[in-house]
């Protein structure tokens, strides 16, 4: 694949005595590397169990395209989910994708001290939960879980077949999404166009108050009487949605309508049809038959044995990954009563008088 310019592939092996054993494998296809430049600069990573005879973990990195759907960036097979394997995965990811230009410059424009502070405290202290700007609609790991569901049965395959399955999956997805992108005629991708339509509907209920250059006071009746300040020049609103999602909120759209302006210059370029077409511009070409592969001799001479299975731990094997705090917290459901409306019991066990 590398010889035909189809991607960035790395295999890592470990030496035990005179033998070599498989350790890690990392794959990033050219389609993903090229398309990444036209996607929002947010990467979601996760690990999921492999169910083949030699077990292991598949690490994946994804983002979202201009339609709000999954865009896989890289995937790897490692022995287990630990600091060493994650460090190796991120090193290969950086080698394949490099760094997005101007990311730190945008932070530095807000406050010059922030850039050095973030570097000093370490990347592990950065959290999407506490982000105050430019979340670009990415606050959960839902796109990771969606891909895990798609690959559920494939994770029972041997490593070679698993990697080939992932390549053909990306090949099929790229073709399908390119056809959909070519059939899109709105300025924004589907998800963000719908979000904008919903905001536009809400904006019809608002009236513009005092005007000061590009600053508008918006009065809304949605929740009592509230005033919002919209600064179109800085693309900010006191409700917070404009700068968080990088898409005009209802208040911003009301201000734009009052000024007879359109929204095109006030949203993120990563949400547009143009970015969507550029994301899938480079296809994933199919591989020729294995008999026609041009494999270097030094690769053919290598003998890499399957990874030595670790001693099985006592107890029932863990089949699901460990949940994050946010996921555990969101799974807690409160039981409410349909008879009296109280919590902690249901209608069948209710001892209170019904609400009339």
Is 180 found in the same domain as 206? no
Please choose, from the candidates 253, 252, 33, 40, the residue with its C-alpha nearest in 3D space to the C-alpha of residue 131: 40
The strand pairing partners of 45, in sequence order, are 61
Is 222 found in the same domain as 116? no
Is 342 found in the same domain as 249? no
Is 136 found in the same domain as 115? yes
% of residues, the chain, pLDDT over 90: 8
Q: Identify the domain containing residue 234 by its residue range.
A: 190-271
- Which of 314 and 22 is assigned the larger pLDDT? 22
- 115-142: average pLDDT: 55
Is 27 a member of any domain?
A: yes
Is 313 a member of any domain?
A: no
Q: How high is the pLDDT of residue 297?
A: 76
Boundary of a domain, candidates 220, 250, 271: 271
Q: How high is the pLDDT of residue 163?
A: 83
Is it the case that residue 190 has pLDDT exceeding 90? Answer: no
Is it the case that residue 15 has pLDDT exceeding 60? Answer: no
Please choose, from the candidates 7, 2, 9, the residue with its C-alpha nearest in 3D space to the C-alpha of residue 30: 7
Is 47 a member of any domain?
A: yes
Is 282 a member of any domain?
A: yes
- Which of 314 and 65 is assigned the larger pLDDT? 65
Mean per-residue pLDDT of the chain: 76
* 249-290 residue pLDDT tens: 988 898 888 888 889 889 889 999 999 999 998 888 777 777
pLDDT band at 181 (very low <50, low <70, confident <90, very high): confident
Range with lowest mean pLDDT among 122-126, 172-176, 302-306: 122-126
* 35-81 residue pLDDT tens: 998 988 888 888 888 877 777 888 989 888 888 888 989 999 888 88
Is 14 a member of any domain?
A: yes
Please choose, from the candidates 56, 57, 68, 1, the residue with its C-alpha nearest in 3D space to the C-alpha of residue 28: 1
Is 233 a member of any domain?
A: yes
Q: How high is the pLDDT of residue 113?
A: 72
Q: How high is the pLDDT of residue 82?
A: 86
Give the count of domains, the chain.
3
Which three-class secondary structure state does DSSP give residue 142?
Answer: helix
Is 101 found in the same domain as 47? yes
Is 315 a member of any domain?
A: no
Provide the greatest CA pair distance for the chain. Answer: 83
- Which of 299 and 44 is assigned the larger pLDDT? 44
Is 118 found in the same domain as 36? yes
* 86-96 residue pLDDT tens: 889 988 998 88
Is it the case that residue 306 has pLDDT exceeding 90? Answer: no
Q: How high is the pLDDT of residue 49?
A: 82
Is 267 found in the same domain as 165? no
Entry pTM: 0.69
Is 146 found in the same domain as 13? yes
Helical packing angle, 103-110 and 112-121, nearest 10°: 120
Scanning the structure block, which residue is given the tokens 């209802």? Answer: 250
Is 196 found in the same domain as 57? no
pLDDT band at 330 (very low <50, low <70, confident <90, very high): low
Is 324 a member of any domain?
A: no
Is 62 found in the same domain as 14? yes
Boundary of a domain, candidates 254, 271, 288: 271
Is 146 found in the same domain as 282? yes
Q: How high is the pLDDT of residue 321?
A: 56
pLDDT band at 129 (very low <50, low <70, confident <90, very high): very low
CA distance 170 to 164: 10
Q: How high is the pLDDT of residue 272?
A: 92
Q: How high is the pLDDT of residue 126?
A: 54
Is 118 found in the same domain as 179? yes
Scanning the structure block, which residue is given the tokens 């898409």? Answer: 247
């Amino acid at each position: 694949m590398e010889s035909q310019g189809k991607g960035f592939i790395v295999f890592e092996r470990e030496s035990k005595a005179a033998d070599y054993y498989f350790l890690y494998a990392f794959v990033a296809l050219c389609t993903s590397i090229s398309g990444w430049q036209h996607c929002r600069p947010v990467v979601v990573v996760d690990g999921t169990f492999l169910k083949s005879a030699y077990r292991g973990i598949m690490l994946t990195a994804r983002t979202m395209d201009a339609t709000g759907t999954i865009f896989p960036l890289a995937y790897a097979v490692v022995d287990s989910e630990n600091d060493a394997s994650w460090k190796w995965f991120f090193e290969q990811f950086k080698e394949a994708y490099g760094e997005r230009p101007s990311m730190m410059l945008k932070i530095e424009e807000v406050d010059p001290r922030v850039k050095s502070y973030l570097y000093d405290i370490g990347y592990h202290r950065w959290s999407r939960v506490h982000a105050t700007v430019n979340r670009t609609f990415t606050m959960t790991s839902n796109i990771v879980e969606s891909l895990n569901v798609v690959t559920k049965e494939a994770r029972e395959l041997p490593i070679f077949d698993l990697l080939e399955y992932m390549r053909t999956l990306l090949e099929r997805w790229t073709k399908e999404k390119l056809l959909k992108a070519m059939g899109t005629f709105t300025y924004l991708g589907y998800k963000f166009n719908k979000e904008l339509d919903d905001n536009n509907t809400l904006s019809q209920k608002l009236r513009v108050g005092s005007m000061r250059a590009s600053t508008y006071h918006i009065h809304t009746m949605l929740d009592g009487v509230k005033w919002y300040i919209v600064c179109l020049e800085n693309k900010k609103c006191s409700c917070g949605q404009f700068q968080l999602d990088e898409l005009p909120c209802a208040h911003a759209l009301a201000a734009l309508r009052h000024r007879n302006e359109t929204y095109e210059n006030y949203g993120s370029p990563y949400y547009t049809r143009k970015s969507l077409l550029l994301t899938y511009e480079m296809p994933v070409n199919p591989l020729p038959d294995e008999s026609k592969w041009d494999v270097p001799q030094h690769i053919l001479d290598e003998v890499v044995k399957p990874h030595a299975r670790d001693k099985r731990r006592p107890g029932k094997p863990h089949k699901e990954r460990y949940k994050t705090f946010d996921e555990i917290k969101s799974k807690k459901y409160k039981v409410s009563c349909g008879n009296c409306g109280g919590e902690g019991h249901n209608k069948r066990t209710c001892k209170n008088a019904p609400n009339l």
